[in-house]
Structure formats: structure tokens, C-alpha cells
Amino acid sequence: MTGKHILVIGGGIGGLTVATALAQKGFKVTVIERSDGSGVEGVGISQQANVVRALATLGLARDYLDAGFAYDTVEIYAPDGSLVARTPSRSLIEGFPAAMGIPRRVLLEVLSNSATAAGAEIRRSTTSASLEQDGAMVHARFSDDSQGPFDLVVGADGIYSQTRRLLFPDAPTPQFVGQAVWRYNLPRPSGFDALHVYNGPTGVGLVPMSRAEIYIYATTPEPDNPDYPLEGLAARMRTKLAGCAPAIRAIAEQITDDARVVYRPLEAIFLQGPWHKGRIGLIGDAVHATTPHLGQGGGMAIEDAVVFAEELARHDDREAAFTAYYRRRFERCRYVVEKSLEICRGQLGKGPLVDNAKAGAEMNTLLAQPI
């Protein structure tokens, strides 16, 4: 099916990766993204060996590694701060690390550059005003009043996907899970070379993402889903960490700038039914947005992108391609969403408290399998 013109709606992690993957396989690709690129959240993202492997299939692993911080170990701590386990992580590609931390803005720069280098057109500050299918093409009209026909469309427009609502207006909407995540960038302490994960009702992690920085994340109960004002947000985050381990309380003293706190209520969605309709398909958070408890949200979008492009290139029939993509991704993505929610419920006291070391080992074993 190569040579077709494909519109990608959404220029985030999934959208830029699928643009690269499709362009490398001979498709003509246009990406539209509502933002101008200046509003990326200034925190980091951690990604495991399965993501490094997926990016390696696109020839991006080296650029990705050079832009972030590689690590091969996870340290698990009890709520009182005592070290429970220091567990080595297994690489899936010889010569590459098992995991990475990288600033989100830098990751998007790597992916944007790779998509452009592969031949994709990226149009920022642009949204889709309408999509109409006539059986032969998808006719798109954009926010700048331009328009054009496309052979296929990929909805990579996130958890609040307008494309999903267009295709499946009766599908479930994202559901708040009772928690929120707080994130903040900090200087990297000397010798800090592993992901640190703290068990407890407030789940906390410290992730190296460059030679100079780490980021801290914390998942906290927020049953009323409050809308906190920016003023005082740093002090509020410190307060949320006040009952955590001594090492976390000490590092939290560096959380002082309200504008650098990234606070987000946690929502999830998993589309049980089809992930496409006609000539329009969905990837990433548009169909399986997860909470961050396993650190695989971006990773699943990247894997989706690789598989989506492989199946479109492999099949002459688009329906067969969409179906093959769905079958390869459904159970893997469902596991990540459901296991993450299980950890969330345990932290909220709505189920058994999940041991992070065991959950991580189980996840790594499953996701080491081919995509």
C-alpha cells in the first residue's frame, strides 16, 4: 500500500513516530499539530527496553540515547526509605541500554527531526476542522481554511481525541481514576545512575534524564479532582511529599518554583471495540490512555506507530492492515492499562497494594516479547 498520502492528526510522541515510520516505508505523510511547539511540558519521560528496541527499528535509538540518560538498574524502596531491591534491567538489543530517561521536549525534537528527515511535512498551529469519507478518499478541511484529499488518516490526537469522537461518538470517555501526578525537574545528584521507585500510598519516583537533571514524580490521592491554582503549587507539592521517606522529603525542599510544577489529574481510557472506521485509524492515547504507574504510556504509542506502519506496508488491502495492527496491539496495550490501574487502586486503598518490584518484573517479561 506504499505511495499513499496519509494525514497524521497530532504531533506528539505517537504522531511524530508514526510519521517517521510511514515516511521511511514510502508513504507521503502530512502531520498537523494544534500547538506551535513552544508549550511542551518541561518534565522528563522514562522509557524501558521495549521502547529502545522499537526506536532502533526506525534507526532512531542512537539519536535518542545521545539526547537522554541511559540506565540499567531499578532501585525499589519501602515507604520508610529502606532499600528493598536493586534490580538490573535487561536490554533487548545488544549494545543498547535497558532503559532511558529523557526530557520530553528533547524527545519531541528528536522525533520531529526524524520525521522531517524521512520526508514528512509537519504543519504546526493547525487542526482538523472536518473529515469526510466518500469510500475512495478522506477529504480534510483544516483550521487555516486549506483542504485536501488523503488516502488514509491516523488519529494520534491524544486522550481527548476529536478523531475518536468523530469515528465513535458513543464510545466511553476518559475516566478520572482518583489520583493525580505531580512532576518537577531537579539537579542530578552525583552518582545517581538508576530509576528510584518508592512504594506506598503516595507513589514516588526519581528518574535520571540527562547528565545534569533528574525528575521527580509523585502520584497522590485527589478524590475530589481539585483544580489547584498556579500560585502556591510548589508548596502544595512539598506538602504532598511530607509523609514520604526522608530522602524524598529532603529532595522536595528544592521544589520552589510554582511555574515548574506540572500537575495533572490522572484519567484512563481503553477502547474495547474497533480502532478504525473506513480509512481512519487510531493510535496511542486516542485508544488506550493509561496512568503512568508502569511508565509505558509513551512507549505504547511508539510501539503502535511501528506496528501500524509495518502493517500498512505489508498489506495491499487497508482493512486487512488495520485489522492486523489491532490484533497485534490489543492485548499488549490492555495489559498496560489494566495493570497500571491495579497499581493505582492499591495506592488508593481500593485493592491490594501492588509490589512495584514484582509488577516491574512482570511487565518487563511480557513486553520483552516481540511486538
Give tens-digit pLDDT for 255-291: 999 999 999 999 999 999 999 999 999 999 999 999 9
Q: Are 326 and 241 members of one domain?
A: no
Q: Are 290 and 186 members of one domain?
A: no
Cβ burial, residue 315 (10 Å; 0-12/13-18/19+) = middle
Q: Are 248 and 164 members of one domain?
A: no
Q: Are 63 and 133 members of one domain?
A: yes
85: in domain: no
Range of the domain at 108: 5-69+99-173+268-367
Kindly report the CATH number assigned to the domain that includes residue 56. 3.50.50.60
34: in domain: yes
Q: Are 245 and 354 members of one domain?
A: no
Q: Are 183 and 126 members of one domain?
A: no
Last residue of a domain, one of 215, 242, 266: 266
241: in domain: yes
Q: Which helix (H) or strand (E) holds 220?
A: strand 213-221
Q: In the chain, how many H helices and how many E strands?
A: 11, 19
86: in domain: no
- pTM, rounded to two decimals: 0.96
Q: Are 359 and 230 members of one domain?
A: no
DSSP 147-171: EEEESEEEE---TT-HHHHHH-TTS
Q: Is 184 helix (H, G, I), strand (E, B) or coil?
A: strand
141: in domain: yes
Q: What are the residue ranges in the chain where pLDDT is below 50?
A: none
Q: Is 32 helix (H, G, I), strand (E, B) or coil?
A: strand
Say if residues 290 and 337 touch (Cβ distance below 8 Å): yes
Distances (CA, A) of 333 to 135, 217, 285: 30, 23, 10
> Which residue, 63, 54, 52, is CA-closest to 112?
63
* Domains identified in the chain, total number: 2
Q: Are 65 and 191 members of one domain?
A: no
Q: Are 316 and 335 members of one domain?
A: yes
Q: Are 142 and 278 members of one domain?
A: yes
Distance between CA atoms of residues 97 and 364, nearest Å: 14
Furthest-apart CA atoms within the chain: distance in Å: 62
78: in domain: no
57: in domain: yes
State how beta strands 138-142 and 195-198 pair.
unpaired
Q: Which three cell numbers stand for residue 125?
A: 498551529
Q: Are 276 and 141 members of one domain?
A: yes
Last residue of a domain, one of 266, 282, 298: 266
Distance between CA atoms of residues 26 and 3, nearest Å: 6
pLDDT at 355: 84
Last residue of a domain, one of 236, 266, 296: 266
> Which residue, 335, 343, 341, 344, is CA-closest to 363?
335
pLDDT at 41: 67
79: in domain: no
Kindly report the CATH number assigned to the domain that includes residue 217. 3.30.9.30
State how beta strands 28-33 and 121-124 pair.
parallel
Question: HSE of 33 in the Cβ direction (CA atoms, 13 Å)?
Answer: 21
pLDDT at 40: 62
Distances (CA, A) of 149 to 7, 10, 167, 269, 299: 9, 18, 18, 30, 31
Q: Are 183 and 58 members of one domain?
A: no
